[in-house]
Amino acid sequence: MTAKRVLLIVSGGIAAFKALELVRLLRRANYGVTCVLTKNGSQFVTPLSLQALSESKVYTDLFSLTDESEMGHIQLSRAADLLVVVPATANILAKMAAGLADDLASTVLLATDKPVLVAPAMNVRMWLHPATQANMAVLAQRGVHVVAPTEGAMACNEFGPGRLAEPPEILAAIEVLLRPAGPLTGRHALVTSGPTHEPIDPVRYIANRSSGRQGAAIAAALAELGARVTLVRGPVSVPDPDGVTVHRVETAQQMLEACQSALPADIAVFAAAVADWRVEQAATGKIKKQPGAAPPALTLLPNPDILATIAAAGPNRPRIVVGFAAETDDLLANAQAKLVRKNADFIVANDVSPETGIMGGAENAVHIVSAADVETWPRLGKDEVARRLVRRIAEAFAD
Ligand code: C5P
């Protein structure tokens, strides 16, 4: 497969230096990169540094005879799979919204029929100005994709939204847009993973040994088949998968709320090891050991069952719901009971007895339990289990 090509337009803002890092990340991910640098952009980064990192000629001038003879503005956009504006200043966003074409960057943006992604960066008041917000609304309505600016201290000594998103986040958005179409393109998948932490006091909590690996692998596999993926993760140390929207939560209650706000979804996979109980009233200060006193008694309350709540029949029920059954005894009977009790379409049953090394390990040995049958898969890496499971989900979706 030939490498996908990004046409990167660098406009003039203090954040333009981050475009250099983005070019480096794009090249490392094997994308071809051609840069267009605006006149103002060249006040912040040089064509030479962009050229060295992109290993490609940098275009700056609409009327340069050499540029036009080598590659005109129409050809520049034709040769690209995606146009990306980083940083996108208030000025270039206004020009895009108004359809102005007074330099090479704005002309290419007006002439293109390729998808366009912008990563705005500007002073907070410029970003919040009704003119900029109206321009953003126009661009969104025309289908321009946006990596929203973040909030933080700015070069102008102000604080608020307007900081350019970090290059890895922009890369992730680019990867999603350039992903080849797959059987789950256009579908939204929700995945939970990891443990939950239920506080006892500000320093202690109830937890379990889940690593979040299997859920992360499932999220990545869903994204590979083209789905837009929301991953709701408990506290885990495994890295976030690329190209997936991640919500980090701590407790079961927060996980449920994050899942509900991610709906509607076409597919939901509940791989999290949610704590079954929480402490009725977590102490606000650290519970002290009192010499000679009895240990504190904890009153536990049941946590909401996230899977059962979301899988309950109703207009928002995802079409395919997958749960897990991690058991040490009566694996299949328990999984079959869970399938019915939780109204799931599939239960992935795995034996988590300590001698299997599955909980927290790199491999998994699962049975796929549905109303129709039970499939038993060999012991496989968690990535391979994820890929097979997601292919199974895509088949069920196609039925
Ligand atoms: O009932 P049990 O915990 O064995 O069910 C396991 C399945 O239910 C897993 O898919 C798990 O993610 C999900 N679950 C949940 N919310 C809970 C408990 C379990 O989503 N409170």
pLDDT tens digits for range 196-215? 999 999 999 999 988 999 99
Q: Report the distance separating Cα 244 and Cα 189, nearest Å.
A: 10
Tell me which residues are annotated as active site.
Answer: 156
Which residues contact residue 94 at a Cβ distance below 8 angstroms, ignoring those fewer than 6 apart? 100, 131, 132, 135
Contact by Cβ (8 Å): 124, 159: yes
Answer whether 303 contacts ligand 1 (Cβ < 6 A): yes
Q: What is the pLDDT of residue 122?
A: 95
> How close is the Cα of 284 to the center of ligand 1, in Å?
28
Same fold, 5-177 and 188-398: yes
> How close is the Cα of 228 to the center of ligand 1, in Å?
23
Residue 340: phi, psi to the nearest 5? -75, -50
Q: Report the distance separating Cα 327 and Cα 330, nearest Å.
A: 7
Which ligand 1 atom is the nearest neighbour of the CA of 323? Answer: 10
- Asked whether residue 369 carries a pLDDT value surpassing 60, the answer given is yes
Residue pLDDT, tens place only, 128-142 = 999 999 999 999 999
Classify residue 170 by burial, with Cβ atoms within 10 Å: 0-12, 13-18, 19+: buried
For the chain, the structural domain boundaries read 5-177, 188-398
Shortest-distance Cα residue to atom 13 of ligand 1: 307
Answer whether 344 contacts ligand 1 (Cβ < 6 A): no
> How close is the Cα of 302 to the center of ligand 1, in Å?
12
Percent of the chain with pLDDT over 70: 97
Answer whether 305 contacts ligand 1 (Cβ < 6 A): yes
Contact by Cβ (8 Å): 4, 29: no
Pocket test for ligand 1, best of 210, 305, 310, 338 (most atoms within 8 A of CB): 305
Q: What is the pLDDT of residue 185?
A: 92
Q: What is the pLDDT of residue 1?
A: 55
CATH number for the domain whose boundaries are 188-398: 3.40.50.10300
pTM of the model: 0.75
Pocket test for ligand 1, best of 324, 340, 343 (most atoms within 8 A of CB): 324
Q: What is the mean pLDDT of residues 67-77?
A: 73
| 5-177 CATH, one of 3.40.109.10, 3.40.1190.20, 3.40.50.1950, 1.20.120.530 | 3.40.50.1950
Amino acid at 313: A
Which residues contact residue 66 at a Cβ distance below 8 angstroms, ignoring those fewer than 6 apart? none
Instruction: Tell me how far apart the 2 most distant CA atoms of the chain are, in Å.
Output: 89
150 to 118, 123, 124, 157, 175: CA distances (angstroms): 14, 11, 10, 15, 20
Classify residue 366 by burial, with Cβ atoms within 10 Å: 0-12, 13-18, 19+: buried
What b-and-e string marks burial along 86-108, b requiring 16 or more CB atoms within 10 Å of the CB? bbbbbbbbbbbbeeebebbbbbb
- Asked whether residue 70 carries a pLDDT value surpassing 70, the answer given is no
Which ligand 1 atom is the nearest neighbour of the CA of 324? Answer: 10
Pocket test for ligand 1, best of 270, 339, 366 (most atoms within 8 A of CB): 270
> How close is the Cα of 272 to the center of ligand 1, in Å?
7
Answer whether 346 contacts ligand 1 (Cβ < 6 A): no
Which ligand 1 atom is the nearest neighbour of the CA of 275? Answer: 21
Mean residue pLDDT of the chain comes to 93
Q: What is the mean pLDDT of residues 320-325?
A: 97
Answer whether 349 contacts ligand 1 (Cβ < 6 A): no
- Asked whether residue 67 carries a pLDDT value surpassing 70, the answer given is no
